[in-house]
A and B are shown apart, each in its own frame.
Chain A
Amino acid sequence: MRARVTERCVGCGACLPFCPAEAIQVMGRAEIDASRCTGCGMCARYCPNDGVEVER
């Protein structure tokens, strides 16, 4: 289970503070470090743009 950034991500960084694994970096778009991501889905929950999907 992990999070995947979609085309809808604008890079606003609203997800940053909510990632308990500190797996997100943002530069024009969010990038999720797959080795750190636990798939908890917090980023998807707080994303204003439906820009993250959590794969199961």
Chain B
Amino acid sequence: MRAVVIGAGLGGLLAACALAERGFEVQVHERLPYPGGRFTNLEFKGYQLSTGALHMIPHGRKGPLGEMLRELGAEVEILPSEPQAVFRVGGRDYEADEVHAVLSAREKLLAVKLLAMMKLGRAEAGEESYAEWLAKHMRSETVRRIADAFTGWCLSLRAHQVPAREVLAQVANLARLGETGVPRGGCRGVVDALVEVLESQGGELVLGSRVLQVSGEPWGYAVHTQEGRLEAEVVVSNAGLRRTARMAEEVLPAEYAAELAGLRSVPGVKISVACSEPVLGHSGVVFTPDASRVCGMNEVSNADPELAPTGKHLLMAHAAPAGGDLRREAELALQDLHRLIPRFRERCRVLAVQTYRGEWPVNHAPSGTHLSPATPAGGLYIVGDGVKPEGWMETEGVAMGVRQMLEHLAAAEKSSEI
């Protein structure tokens, strides 16, 4: 059986490797001249910036992505962050289990109880947002800001923009897996390893090849590129939801295509900073509830020194925008960094301010959307950050989406639909 994967982002490459391993004849078509999409490095002035994602694997070695890389035989070293995360409140850093120290005596007790329930996966919610759910239990402004920083960093959404059930499932997974890591070599370390696996399995990666249209054939699909026409029984799109809807218009029911086209992508701002000395001193996430736009930052060169020139450090900060003017949002985020990092002017230099939106967003759909990787068109699947299953953030969600796609495919093969 033949499979065409459209797009060599993280989801596309994971899917392609898994399909090649299962005996498919796989071709990956990537429109850009490099693989990785929003999950690879951009070398700039000796620093390994990224095209999108942070150099981070949220659940470390034992999480869904870590496991999938191992299963596929992709050689990626995941360097665990120690501490996993801290919260910078009032200029002091607190680990997650200590941050209640900043609350009043009454709130403290409530917060400890609530966090314990969440970590055990015993907290329950209805249809409300995470902000509404929290407000039912606690009225603390500090707790609300901590929640905003957490979802802002992980999802580029504030607590009122994401369903409580989604966040509760994510916190339970985070607690159960208990590790966050930095891939050696950054995002590109993962992408290079996957490309190697793909090619060793006989798969083919075609760069600079733009897919224009997917049309239906009695035996599967014809994939039309600028160069010509390919045939495949299985097509996996890693091209984003709206692009997929356009490309596969002919084979998708109008109602479903409209649903895809109607989902709004999630914007974000990332600031990469060169530091003359370590300014955080560890590779864990520093959540920043006091800041107006920045939600968190990490200094990845503490995990892998090669992400920065010798003796220098690379810090990355993420901001969840509160408004649509991303230039303004980026300016506010820069002001935050000056306040958050002592002696910023002396020790730090802004390398790049990167904004993400539209068809090059943080996520193609907001967390909590739970779109299935299986489309109504048999044999046509979607992977990537638009199809994250409940409870899985960032790249872990991408890996779990690919796993779900493979399950759907196996079921379809069993019932001879493909």
Give me the interface of A with B, judged by CB distance under 8 Å: 10-14, 16-17, 26-29, 45-46, 48-49
Complex A-B, nearest 5 residue pairs according to Cβ-Cβ distance, in ascending order: A28-B327, A11-B355, A13-B354, A17-B44, A28-B326
Closest to A18 in B: B42
Asked if B97 is at the interface (CB within 8 A of a chain A CB), the reply is: no
Q: What 0/1 readout, one digit per residue, does chain B (31-59) give for beta carbons within 8 Å of chain A?
A: 01110011000111000010110000000
Q: What 0/1 readout, one digit per residue, does chain B (225-250) give for beta carbons within 8 Å of chain A?
A: 00000000000000000000000000
Given contacts A28-B330, A46-B33, whether A14 and B355 have CB atoms under 8 Å apart is no
Stretch among B169-177, B289-297, B307-315, B357-365 lining the A interface: B357-365
Q: Are A27 and B330 in contact (CB-based, < 8 A)?
A: yes
Q: Are B49 and A48 in contact (CB-based, < 8 A)?
A: no
Q: How far is the CA of A17 from the CA of B6 in the complex (A)?
A: 26
Q: Are A12 and B52 in contact (CB-based, < 8 A)?
A: yes
Q: Are A12 and B32 in contact (CB-based, < 8 A)?
A: no
Given contacts A13-B42, A17-B43, whether A49 and B355 have CB atoms under 8 Å apart is no
Counted as pairs of residues, one from A and one from B, with CB atoms less than 8 Å apart, the total is 65
Chain B residues positioned under 8 Å from A11 (CB to CB):
326-327, 330, 353-357
Q: Are A12 and B354 in contact (CB-based, < 8 A)?
A: yes
Min Cβ gap B397→A in Å is 20
The winner among B32, B34, B356, B360 for most chain A CB atoms within 10 A is B360
Chain A residues positioned under 8 Å from B325 (CB to CB):
28
Given contacts A13-B49, A14-B42, whether A49 and B358 have CB atoms under 8 Å apart is yes
Q: Given A13, A17, A45, which contacts B33 in the complex, CB threshold below 8 Å?
A: A45
Chain B residues positioned under 8 Å from A12 (CB to CB):
51-52, 354-356, 360
Give me the interface of B with A, judged by CB distance under 8 Å: 32-34, 37-38, 42-44, 49, 51-52, 325-331, 352-360
Q: Are A26 and B352 in contact (CB-based, < 8 A)?
A: yes
Closest to A15 in B: B42
Chain A residues positioned under 8 Å from B356 (CB to CB):
10-12
Q: 4 additional contacts, CB 8 Å, given A10-B358, A11-B327? A: A17-B49, A26-B354, A28-B326, A29-B355
Q: Are B357 and A46 in contact (CB-based, < 8 A)?
A: no
Q: How far is the CA of A14 from the CA of B352 in the complex (A)?
A: 10
Chain B residues positioned under 8 Å from A16 (CB to CB):
42, 44, 49, 352
Chain B residues positioned under 8 Å from A17 (CB to CB):
42-44, 49
Q: Are A29 and B352 in contact (CB-based, < 8 A)?
A: no
Closest to B353 in A: A27
Please list 28 pairs of residues, one from A and one from B, whose beta carbons are closer than 8 Å in the complex, sorted by A's number: A10-B359, A10-B360, A11-B326, A11-B327, A11-B353, A11-B354, A11-B355, A12-B51, A12-B356, A13-B49, A14-B51, A17-B49, A26-B355, A27-B327, A27-B330, A28-B327, A28-B328, A28-B329, A29-B355, A45-B33, A46-B32, A46-B34, A48-B32, A48-B37, A48-B38, A48-B51, A48-B360, A49-B359
Chain A residues positioned under 8 Å from B44 (CB to CB):
16-17
Q: How far is the CA of A26 from the CA of B327 in the complex (A)?
A: 9
Chain A residues positioned under 8 Å from B33 (CB to CB):
45-46
Min Cβ gap B49→A in Å is 7
Chain A residues positioned under 8 Å from B327 (CB to CB):
11, 27-29
Chain A residues positioned under 8 Å from B34 (CB to CB):
46
Min Cβ gap A32→B in Å is 15
Q: How far is the CA of A8 from the CA of B356 in the complex (A)?
A: 12
Chain A residues positioned under 8 Å from B330 (CB to CB):
11, 27-28
Q: How far is the CA of A11 from the CA of B52 in the complex (A)?
A: 11
Min Cβ gap B66→A in Å is 27
Chain A residues positioned under 8 Å from B357 (CB to CB):
10-11
Q: Are B42 and A10 in contact (CB-based, < 8 A)?
A: no
Q: How far is the CA of A48 from the CA of B52 in the complex (A)?
A: 11
The winner among B38, B42, B330, B331 for most chain A CB atoms within 10 A is B42
The winner among A14, A17, A26, A46 for most chain B CB atoms within 10 A is A14
Min Cβ gap A11→B in Å is 4
Q: How far is the CA of A11 from the CA of B44 in the complex (A)?
A: 16
Q: Are A10 and B355 in contact (CB-based, < 8 A)?
A: yes
